[in-house]
Amino acid sequence: MDTSWWPGVAAVVAVALVVLVAGGRLGLPRRAPPAQGTGTPPRPRAGELWRLADGRLCLVLSAGPVRGHRARVAWITGKYDDRRAGVIPLPPGTVGAQGRAGYLEADRPAEVSVWEFRDRAGVLDPAVWDEVKGLGGGR
């Protein structure tokens, strides 16, 4: 029985394993990750306040089919930093409990997957929305 072709097969198998294991590090295209979640993703709209899966509260600046499954948001915090010009005080009661102070970090918008949105917390005051709506292309 002629076994001279076995080293060739072993070499092909070794190259295939190297490509599979190191493929991501070599810049080869990878398959898209599976869709997150099941069912329909949340549908945040510009001007709405949402609580994310990690508990953070944010204002949706822009979202929609044009952006895919991503939304541009501004974070809401309870700490005021007077050294930052982009921190906007929110009206009392916006963040939750009456009298609790809240501030919009309008100078640091971020992109978030809509699959991270958990609970709709309300709508931003129209006067404040007019001040910040241009940050994310919101209407």
For residue 139, the model assigns a pLDDT of: 47
**Residue listed under structure tokens 């948001």:** 73
For residue 104, the model assigns a pLDDT of: 87
Backbone conformation region of residue 25, classed left if phi is above 0, alpha if psi is from -120 to 50, else beta: alpha
- Taking 50 as the pLDDT cut, the residues of the chain under it are 28, 30-35, 138-139
What pTM does this model have?
Answer: 0.66
Coil, strand or helix: which one is 7? helix
Q: Which residue ranges make up each domain of the chain?
A: 48-135
Quickly list H helices, 66-112. none
For residue 75, the model assigns a pLDDT of: 93
The H or E element containing residue 13 is helix 6-22
Architecture of domain 48-135: Roll (2.30)
